[in-house]
Amino acid sequence: MRSTPTFDALAAPMDEMVDVMSSRGGDVSALATEQSGMAISVDDRKQDVSDVPLLRGIVLRAFDGQGFVEFATDGAPRAETLRAAKRLARVAVRGGIRAETSTGRFDTVCEIDPVDVSTEDKFARVRELQATLRALHPKAVNARATYSERITLQRFRSPERDLVQRVVRVVATAILFVAENGRTEYAYEPHGATKGVELLRFGSDELDKIRDTASAMLRAERIEPGTYEIVTSPEASGLIAHEAFGHGVEMDMYPKERARSQLYLGKRVASPLTTMLDDPSVAGAYGSFFFDDEGHLARPTTIIQDGIYIGGLADDSAALALGYPATPNGRRESYRRKAYARMTNTFFVANGKTPDELIASIDSGIYLDRGSSGMEDPKSWGIQVTMRDAREIRGGKLTDRYFKEVGVTGYVPEVLGSITAVANDLSFDAGMCGKGHKELVPVSSGGPHLRLRARLS
C-alpha cells in the first residue's frame, strides 16, 4: 500500500496511545487521517489549478458507559496527546461496540494512479479534453473540462483491530455550452469513481451524447404537470434512492424521532420488485472504502428486500442507543468532526429486463435522464427531485421531444410502490452529501433503469 512520510509519522504513535487508553480494559480506539487533493478546470475564459487544503489529524476515542468521549489533534506534542490518552483511560469502560479481530492494509486499484502523473500532465489532459469538447458543435459558445482528485490515507487502531487504507477518488466532467436565438443551454457527462486519471478518457459515444443532448436542449420544453408513466435512467434511479431511502434511514435520527421510516421496520414500503442496498464495498464506486471511520469493514447493508424495509444505517452511537447492530456507515467529514450515520453507495438492485424492454412497454410516458437536485423530508416522507433533462416516450420508443428541469414529487412509499419493472443494468454516479447543510462526505448512488408512475411538474 502506498503511503506518505507525513502520514507514517502521524500514525506512528497510535500503538502507544491505544495501549495507554486500554490499560484499564475499556473500549477505546484511535483513527489517523490524512486527506489531500487537487482540482483543475479549463474553459474558454479561464484555467485554474488548485490544491485542496491538506487535512491531517488523529482522533482518540473512549466509551464511558453512556457515549463516546473524544480527543482530536492535528499535531499536538506527544506529551499532550499522552495526557489525553491517560484521561480517556480513566473514563473508558467496556460495553461499547466491539468488532471481530481484524487486520489489513488496503489500496485503491487505479489504471493510472494520480501520484504517478505530474500536475503538468494532468493539466495537459484536461486542456485536450476541453479542446475536443469545443469542437463538437457549430453552435458551441463555451466548453469546460474539469478534473479533481482526493486521496485519503487512514489507520484505525483498537485493541482488536489494526486497519490501514488508501482511498483514491477522481471526478472528471465534460460540459458543452451551446446558444441559439439568445438561448443558452448545456449538456454534460460526468465520470466519478474510486479510480485514477484514466477517468479523463471520454469515449466517442459519450461525446456524441453530449453534442446531441446540447442540441436537443435548445428546443426543450417545460413539461405539462401531471401523473406520468416513467422510465428512469440509472442516474435518475440513484437520485430517487438517495433521497427516498437514504437520509431517511440514517438511524442517528431515530432516537430523536425525526424519521418516519422507524415506524415501518419489517413493513412494506415499496413494490415487491424493489431491493435496495447501501454498500461501501462496491468496487470502483465513488462512495466506496475498505473500512469506515469507526473501524467496521465494508460490507453491504440491505435496506429494502422485496419491498420490505429491513433496516437502516447505524453508526456506533445510534447502534448503542437503539440496541441495533452497527453497520459500516460511521463517517466523519474530517478528524475535526464526529462520526455520523451516513450513506456510502446507495442503489436499487438490478433485475431481469433490459432497458429497451422497459421503454417498449410504455405507450405514452417520459424518460428521465440527468439528475439536477433532490431533497426529502424524513419526518413526513415527502420527496422532491429535479431532473436536468427528460424525453418523451411514444409508442414504446424515445422521440426527439425533450423537456428541461422536470420535477418529481410524491410520498416515498407511493413512489416506490409504483415500480412495475426493474432492468438488468447497473451504474453509479458520484457526489458529495451533507448532513443537513454541513458534514460533507463522498457518496455514490445508482441502480438500473426502473419503470414507475409519479407526478411530474
Look at residue 375 in the predicted model and tell me its pLDDT: 80
Q: Are residues 261 and 121 in the same domain?
A: no
254 in the Ramachandran plot: left (φ > 0), alpha (ψ -120 to 50) or beta? Answer: alpha
Nearest residue to 123 via CA among 21, 55, 219, 42: 42
Look at residue 331 in the predicted model and tell me its pLDDT: 98
Question: Is pLDDT at 436 greater than 80 in this prediction?
Answer: no
Predicted TM-score (pTM) of this structure: 0.95
Q: Are residues 402 and 446 in the same domain?
A: yes
Share of the chain above pLDDT 70, in %: 100
Look at residue 245 in the predicted model and tell me its pLDDT: 81
Q: How confident is the model at residue 372 (pLDDT cuts 50, 70, 90)?
A: confident
Look at residue 258 in the predicted model and tell me its pLDDT: 86
Average pLDDT over the chain, rounded to an integer: 96
Q: Are residues 270 and 204 in the same domain?
A: no
Q: Which of 159, 183, 217 is the last residue of a domain?
A: 217
C-alpha torsion angle, residues 180, 147, 427, 217 (rounded to 10): 0
Question: Is pLDDT at 376 greater than 80 in this prediction?
Answer: no
Task: Tell whether 264 is covered by a domain.
Answer: yes
Task: Tell whether 2 is covered by a domain.
Answer: no
Task: Tell whether 78 is covered by a domain.
Answer: yes
Task: Tell whether 410 is covered by a domain.
Answer: yes
Question: Is pLDDT at 76 greater than 90 in this prediction?
Answer: no
Q: Which of 217, 239, 258 is the last residue of a domain?
A: 217
Question: Is pLDDT at 330 greater than 90 in this prediction?
Answer: yes
Look at residue 108 in the predicted model and tell me its pLDDT: 98
**441 close to 432: Cβ distance less than 8 angstroms:** yes
Q: Are residues 402 and 440 in the same domain?
A: yes
Q: Which of 217, 239, 261 is the last residue of a domain?
A: 217
Look at residue 246 in the predicted model and tell me its pLDDT: 80
| 269-296 pLDDT, tens digit each | 999 999 999 999 999 999 999 999 999 9
Q: Are residues 194 and 342 in the same domain?
A: no
Question: Is pLDDT at 437 greater than 80 in this prediction?
Answer: no
Q: Are residues 55 and 199 in the same domain?
A: yes
Task: Tell whether 392 is covered by a domain.
Answer: yes
Q: Are residues 194 and 57 in the same domain?
A: yes
Mean pLDDT of 121-150: 98
Mean pLDDT of 132-151: 98
Task: Tell whether 428 is covered by a domain.
Answer: yes
Look at residue 127 in the predicted model and tell me its pLDDT: 99
Q: Which domain holds residue 107?
A: 7-217
- Here the CATH number for the domain that contains residue 190 is 3.30.2290.10
Question: Is pLDDT at 222 greater than 80 in this prediction?
Answer: yes
Q: In a 3-state reduction of DSSP, which class is residue 69?
A: strand
Look at residue 282 in the predicted model and tell me its pLDDT: 98
Look at residue 259 in the predicted model and tell me its pLDDT: 87
* Count of structural domains, the chain: 2
Q: Are residues 243 and 380 in the same domain?
A: yes
